[in-house]
Amino acid sequence: MITTDVENYPGFAEGIQGPDLMVEFRKQAERFGTEFLEEWITEADLSQRPFRLETSNYNINAATLIIATGASAKWLGVPGEAKVPNGYGGHGVSACATCDGPLPGFRNKELVVVGGGDTAMEEATFLTRYAAKVYVVHRRDKLRASKIMQEKAFKNPKIEFIWNTGLEEILGEPQHGVTGVRLKNLQTNAERVLPCTGVFIAIGHKPNTDLFKGQVEMDEVGYIKTSHRSTATNIPGVFACGDVQDSTYRQAVTAAGTGCMAALDAERYLDHLPVVTLEGDEVTIEGEHLTPDHQAIIEPDGTIVANKTTVLASTKK
Ligand code: NDP
């Protein structure tokens, strides 16, 4: 987790730091016997059960799988943004203020943050701890950020907003990294150069689903599709929760909520009970399908049987 100030997670009246919240989550899960394996998954085969996941050190076979890979920062795609040597990425350009903001090269300098959402407000606020001044460049004249985050940014004397403006290019020199940005007023088309030492791109995120492309059903952006009534994906036994399947709410609390749903769905599935699928019918681990009206069961071999319980007893007349 790269979020610093979490202001809206329930139970923390004064807010909490993202990394501290994660440590608490982990300790709580460990108390219930959860084992953690810190590995990069390089391949996933979800075509049959057990599902197969590969890392450089392990082959993992899973009876059920919960995908909670989240979403990553998006980039503008402007000249100068790419990683060194093609741009100044890593040499003044970043998408993570928490990771890079405290670096000596940014201290007491003028910095630019691009975006108008909570991420941009959070990054700008965080950067004022170290920077001399932070410019927030936003393409509209209204922020998308929540009220509390907006107000914090508006009240901060080190933050200045540049409205209705696009960042066209990041300027720099190979030895010194970023030296400025070329801005364009989107109402007048007037361009100008704003000198700065760092640029933080904070314009949203892309779901981390490349590993599962072509296997799990996704929307056009790459968010995993889940059933409206459960966390089931199109593959029975594969569930998805958090930002990887939620392009609307994207909050820590909603991610935690859908994480709980996915755990219950997976548990139910492993207990041979039916879980709701993407299409609205229900499926068991044995591959039986229960129709949405609960009238029929379609067996794995295609046989259709009525979903009626045998009457074991009846009242005497
Ligand atoms: P958002 O999608 O909410 O905001 C993205 C911002 O970037 C918007 O202002 C958007 O402009 C702008 N933008 C997007 N693409 C471009 C582009 N190509 N060029 C210029 N500007 C662009 O993403 P966030 O990451 O800010 O937030 C995502 C979710 O996470 C939200 O629900 C938020 O509440 C939550 N969050 C909560 C935090 C907290 O409570 N501490 C911290 C961080 C995030 P426009 O407005 O014009 O569309």
> How far apart, in whole angstroms, are the C-alpha atoms of residue 71 and residue 24?
21
Give the residue among 302, 231, 306, 300 at the shortest CA–CA distance from 263: 231
Query: Do 278 and 234 meet the contact criterion of CB atoms below 8 Å apart?
Result: yes
Kindly give the distance from the C-alpha atom of residue 207 to the centroid of ligand 1, in angstroms, as a whole number: 14
Percent share of the chain, pLDDT over 70: 97
Q: Show pLDDT as tens, one digit a residue, over the chain (317 residues).
A: 445 567 779 999 998 888 899 999 999 999 999 999 999 999 999 999 999 999 999 999 999 999 999 998 899 999 999 988 999 998 999 988 877 888 889 999 999 999 999 989 999 999 999 999 999 999 999 999 999 999 999 999 999 999 999 999 999 998 999 999 999 999 999 999 999 999 999 998 899 999 999 999 999 989 999 998 899 999 999 999 999 999 878 788 999 999 999 999 999 999 999 999 998 889 999 999 999 888 999 999 999 999 987 666 767 76
Query: Do 92 and 199 meet the contact criterion of CB atoms below 8 Å apart?
Result: yes
Q: What is the pLDDT of residue 204?
A: 86
Q: What is the pLDDT of residue 209?
A: 98
Active site (catalytic) residues: 96, 99-100
> How far apart, in whole angstroms, are the C-alpha atoms of residue 211 and residue 260?
23
Question: Where along the chain do its domains lie?
Answer: 37-70+208-276, 75-203, 288-315
Q: Ligand 1: which residue has its CA nearest to atom 38?
A: 118
Kindly give the distance from the C-alpha atom of residue 119 to the centroid of ligand 1, in angstroms, as a whole number: 6
Q: What is the pLDDT of residue 3?
A: 52
Please confirm whether the linkage preceding 79 is cis (ω < 30° from 0).
Answer: no
Query: Is the pTM here over 0.75, yes or no?
Result: no
Q: What is the pLDDT of residue 2?
A: 46
> How far apart, in whole angstroms, are the C-alpha atoms of residue 68 and residue 205?
15
Atom of ligand 1 nearest to the CA of 77: 18
> How far apart, in whole angstroms, are the C-alpha atoms of residue 249 and residue 146?
12
Q: Ligand 1: which residue has its CA nearest to atom 25?
A: 204
Kindly give the distance from the C-alpha atom of residue 192 to the centroid of ligand 1, in angstroms, as a whole number: 25
CA dihedral 228, 233, 238, 243 (to 10 degrees): -70
> How far apart, in whole angstroms, are the C-alpha atoms of residue 71 and residue 252?
12
**In a mutational test of the pocket of ligand 1, which residue from 8, 119, 169 has the highest number of ligand atoms less than 8 Å from its CB?**
119
> What is 37-70+208-276's CATH number?
3.50.50.60
Query: Do 274 and 284 meet the contact criterion of CB atoms below 8 Å apart?
Result: yes
Q: Which tens digit of pLDDT belongs to each residue from 259-295?
A: 999 999 999 999 999 999 998 889 999 999 999 888 9
Between the two ends of the chain, the Cα-to-Cα distance in Å is 67
Q: How far is CA 122 from CA 24, 103, 137, in A?
A: 22, 17, 14
> How far apart, in whole angstroms, are the C-alpha atoms of residue 164 and residue 184?
9
Question: Tokens standing for 209?
Answer: 């689903």
Atom of ligand 1 nearest to the CA of 148: 40
Amino acid at 254: T
Q: Which tens digit of pLDDT belongs to each residue from 167-207?
A: 999 999 989 999 999 999 999 999 999 999 999 999 988 99
37-70+208-276 and 75-203: identical CATH topology: yes
Q: Which residues line ligand 1 (CB under 6 A)?
A: 3, 5-8, 76, 114-120, 122, 139-140, 144, 146, 203-205, 250-251
Identify the bridge partners of residue 167 per DSSP, sorted by sequence position.
Answer: 183
Class for the domain spanning 75-203: alpha beta
Q: Ligand 1: which residue has its CA nearest to atom 18?
A: 76
